[in-house]
Structure 1
């Protein structure tokens, strides 16, 4: 084991052990249509577990549970997409979407604007919120939106472009009805409509955008949605917020999940004086809304794993590939690649493997009780096409003092790989949908 491929952790507790974490309208609000260009909009993001008094490992365990369900849903999407060609055109099948993300964003809807909290999701497109009259609605933290109290609410007709963009819709008296299913019997259904959305928490900086298409959900059920009133999709499809704003650029900077400071979402161009590393976004023709990354390899310390980059290719049947996702906590790699990564981590770490399975993570090491110095791989590098992203230790190793273990915050998948949000923390991630690029810039996100 070469010394250059190891990171000497001194002290261990300082770098790995993480304890418990500590609307209305405005005269100055800009009002534009969604065909106009918008000024850059800054929004705060809050982790779904930020209000709970949890350690980083406990938050990670919550996130892993959500992420495993999310991974299963993504795989269901792939299966549904690959089999859709064999279905006759008159069959109505509700597709499967990701749902349940990790970050919440506050927005306002209607005239006058009513605030609500929504899950931010780069893995889906539809924007929706619960609406009155609710035949079935789950408990949410804010009052349910009542379209009768808004002067700008307008139901969309069945012939509208946005209705045609829905993967599953029906028509009732020329009103477009939608259904989104999330794969675990969670779903939302209701009327597709347009409204004025107001962005920004400070009144002087608020921007109101007319005619945003959204789902007014009158029947909404499912586990894990009750921390928010709905969902905001940031995917690449025509129903997403980015597409409707005609704004091809957005970015986010995620603070550490145990940090009490808010993360940040930018809609529009975000200038930076520093040069990021930039790679291309790939497109899966069968699943065009997802953001696929051109991952070509991985290095642990100074050792590049001996895996063929074709492992990460998008296959002809729409399976495989690597997506970047804000709603999945840890990174999941196709099994062959993950096993190579795991083997190399074990060989470069001078600690015994913990086999208790107490953390929910696949690879953990037992920490000595009489020493604060251990050796682990000093860096982890994801080699994307034309861009190497080196992760800091806290973006892939998590330790827990109560169980005396340090764990690799990654896991194995079958087919689809996901680059998760833990690996993205304290990195400014810039998307340019028009140029089909994505860039990464290491940033202290809590100081932005």
Structure 2
């Protein structure tokens, strides 16, 4: 099997310097751990100039699109890394799946308005990547064997040249970020969810509201400010062909595949952080002791066990962690871990087909929850609750749940916040939680 060529570069803990050299190139994308030395923040990965761009065709099913992705990986060709290297990517697909890609996998109503026009998916096929390993303190250029030698030399010159001075173009909001739903409108939607729960239609619904404002300036400037304020292990920045930008600061892994081992880490259960250390510790303790939050989390763990079971060997799906605590600058989260062994006749794209979108941001049962979401949320979610993802030619994959995420498009900045509604939820608490989760983003943007 062909082997990738790997060239070491000076290590950079922050990918901004290297990404500045390509961020205005076609297909520029950064998957950013933003959390050096953390167990789920080991690698940064960036690339640009894809071999091809792949978005769904009109009327194309999700299964057919995923098969096109599979075919594109085959065309690029399988390759290994040198034996002494542990890197997550040897060439392959990088990009996003929007929440609404789920409409191509399941039959859903079309009630929510598509007023943003984001394509349901956008992945590029990349023959090279720059990868920083924060555990080992290395930065390396990885060239797939199919990359033309002159292109490899061009990229080496680009990244070995003295650091460029990235333009410091500003980013500003022209007005404060406002929610699309008033408290009263949210309450009405909440009560409708309660009606469905008590009627036995569902057990849990993730109810979301959108915040937005007119904006101007450079989205990369916004990304760097938000990254500093809210470092998370699944951050990312992607530039689309029309100039739109996807900015994500997600703490949540969707699905990882490594050497055939599958892992998902659903988040369900949230409390705000406090600058008072005693109050902060109390908030964390209350979260871990909350029977309501544990019940919500367990519902999603059961859902994901079922989803992963469609593509994993029978008997291998396990729950090695249940109700763990993860803390971020703005919130404490309750997190569980579900693992499995990928079946011999399945691949990472089969996992996506059987599991997308993630159950932690829909509810249970999933399909009915998605139908109710479409009825009660006035606009489509776009990137929010979709995924930033890579799938390499060896079958390795990692992906996020794109929460704490923004779409900057057509002079407008949008972000979303939400939470799980169950039978004993309080509407005011849930409404406040939807704001708490994105407050650090709204406040930071407002100060630029």
TM-score by length of 1: 0.27
Whichever structure has more helix as a proportion of its residues is 2
Which structure would you say has the larger Rg? 1
TM-score by length of 2: 0.27
Whichever structure has more strand as a proportion of its residues is 1
